[in-house]
Structures are given as C-alpha cells and as structure tokens.
Amino acid sequence: MAHKYKEPAIEVEGLRKVYHSLVAVDDVSFAMYRGEAFGFLGPNGAGKSTVVKILTGLVAPTKGTVRILGQPVSNLEMRRRIGYLPELPTFHRWLRAREFLAFHGRLYGMRGMVLEKRCHEVLALVGLTGRDNQKLGTFSKGMMQRIGLAQAILNRPDLVLLDELVSGLDPVGQRDMRDLLRQLKSEGMSIFLNSHQLADVEALCDRVAIINEGRILKVGAPQSLFDEAPVFEVRVNPVSKELLHRLGSVALAVRQDEDDPCLLYIEVQKDEQAADIAEVVHACGSRLYSLAPHHRSLEQLFLRTIDASRRAPVESTQS
C-alpha cells in the first residue's frame, strides 16, 4: 500500500520482550508514519502497554529495534520532540498545575516567557483555564487526564503517544479530548493512540494495529482489514419469493432481517454490484427505499480478529 505519509514516526522491527519466562511481546514489527494517527488495539494483557513502554524508554526490549522520528529511543534530542501520557497517570500531588507544567516544560528545555505562555495555552486547550494554582492532589480523575495531556503536548511534539487517554473522562470530557486530538492531527502532529475506545480510534485513526498475546495480528487502514465480502443494506417492499430468488442469483448471500422483513443484507463480490441489485428490485416490481453499504465497525473487526486468533494461529496481515 502506498502511504500518503512517507517518513516513519515510529519504526519497530522484530521486537521481543521477555519478563523472566513470560513472553510479553513476540516478534512485533510495524511502522507508523508522520502526520498520521495510529491506533494500537488489543485486549488486556495483549502486550500493548509493554510496547508503549518500550517506545518511551521505560522498558528495554529483550530483542529487536525501535526508532522514533528516525532516532533510537535513547536519543535525547528526539525526546524533546515527543510527548507521552501514560495510562492512569499519577503525578506529584503536592504540585500546583502551573508548577507541574513549568517543571515538565523545563525538562523539555523551555524557559521564561515562552514557557509561561505555553503553560497558559495548554491549560486552555485541555479545558483547565483558571486552575493554574490548584494542587494536583485536589484534581479529579478526569482533570488528571487533562493535565496529563497538557504536559504531553506542552513542547508542541511531532509525535504524541497516548495510553488510554479517555479512560477517566466523562462523556463531555471524552468529546472535548476527541476534538482536541482532531485539532492536533490537523496541525500535523503524529498521534499514537493506545485505546480500548474503539469508536474513538475508528473516528480518529488512519491506521490501526491489532495485537494479541504479544503478536501483531493486523496492521492497516481499518476498512482495508476486513477480509469478508462487502455487504449492502437494502430496504424494499414488498419482499417476494421471486425477489429473494433473483437476488440470490446475483449475490453471494441474501439475509432477511429478523425484526424487519423489508430489510435485506446482501453480500456481494464487489461494490459495483449495487447496480445489479437495484435492477433486480425494479424488475420484480418492488419499490427500492434504500441501498447502502452495510457499516462494518472497527469493533466488529477487532472482535473477529481476536476471536480468530484465539481459535487458531493467525497469519499476520500487514499493509
């Protein structure tokens, strides 16, 4: 597949991590490109967090190579250009919000008015305006996530790694964070999103990787990862036996909805067969009310991929 993003933001090759005798990550390879939002999906214990920790230098790999923005993880100049928010972040509770951001800003090499101005900016971006002097110990879980994101984007990073960003947020907070991530992406920031919120990943991410039991199962744009044939949702009336018979002859399979008999799910070999379906409906004297591709969610893809991997070893599909 030709990527519109050419330069890799993250390159992972043959990554393996063994804790004592437990293999947490096994031969993981993938690339994430600059400017894209990349979703990293997997059930609990799949090895997601271990990979994220390796990417951020918190954990050393047993084997394999990792390059972030073209540099090894240990490169300090590269680290100035990344931001990271861990899952369920714990911060120094005795710090005030402003002090917290100022400390992390200084670690990035920011100073003086530039730092002060940026602190105010990021507090506003994450919806914490006016909380400058509030101690982190008094912050709610959602506010902790927000201030955590503020420190992750404080240095205007080229790449931000977010681990379960919205886990502590209420619905309004989740929407705000989604909007903010879209804004950051539109500004050219590369976003690596490790999340269980599949709807968020689907809405934001250009590509996803699905990992289970330490191995990458699939990598690619969500819609390109569906292995099964396209399905159309067709609403017609009346649904005669002849109609079903003739549709069956042009389609791979026809299924009538159990609750709504006028709703048909028609599986075809290719999208272009939509015209054939419309033709058959008219030929049979039925009225066609709607004909649309059946939406296949990332959740379906995720669950099917994980189920399949549990049933049998899955060949990894990469694109």
Residue number, 68 or 198, with CB nearest to another protein: 68
Residues in 120-139 at the binding interface with another protein, rule: CB under 8 A? none
Report if residue 107 touches another protein, rule: CB under 8 A.
yes
Report if residue 35 touches another protein, rule: CB under 8 A.
no
The correct pick among 5, 16, 23, 91 for binding another protein (CB under 8 A) is 91
CB of 142: closest distance to another protein in angstroms?
Answer: 17
The correct pick among 45, 65, 92, 224 for binding another protein (CB under 8 A) is 92
Phi-psi region of 156 (alpha: psi -120 to 50; beta: other; left: phi over 0): left
Q: Output the DSSP codes for 103-159.
A: HHHHHTT--HHHHHHHHHHHHHHTT-TT-TTSBGGG--HHHHHHHHHHHHHTT--SE
The correct pick among 145, 151, 195, 305 for binding another protein (CB under 8 A) is 151
Q: Are 162 and 180 in contact (CB under 8 A)?
A: no
Report if residue 56 touches another protein, rule: CB under 8 A.
yes
Angle, to 10 degrees, between the axis of helix 112-125 and the axis of helix 141-153? 140
Of 55-63, 124-132, 271-279, 292-300, the window that binds another protein (rule: CB under 8 A) is 55-63
Sign of CA dihedral 73, 79, 6, 53: positive
The correct pick among 148, 173, 214, 230 for binding another protein (CB under 8 A) is 148
Q: Are 236 and 286 in contact (CB under 8 A)?
A: yes
The correct pick among 30, 33, 38, 84 for binding another protein (CB under 8 A) is 84
CB of 313: closest distance to another protein in angstroms?
Answer: 28
CB of 90: closest distance to another protein in angstroms?
Answer: 4
Instruction: Spell out the residues 6+ positions from residue 287 whose beta carbon is closer than 8 angstroms to its own.
Output: 236, 237, 281
Report if residue 275 touches another protein, rule: CB under 8 A.
no
Q: Distance between CA 179 and CA 66 in Å, rounded? A: 30
Tokens representing residue 265 in the block: 């799910």
Sign of CA dihedral 176, 181, 185, 189: positive
Report if residue 33 touches another protein, rule: CB under 8 A.
no
CB of 152: closest distance to another protein in angstroms?
Answer: 8
Interaction site with another protein (CB under 8 A): 19, 53, 56-60, 76-77, 79-80, 82, 84-86, 88-92, 94, 103-104, 106-109, 148, 151-152
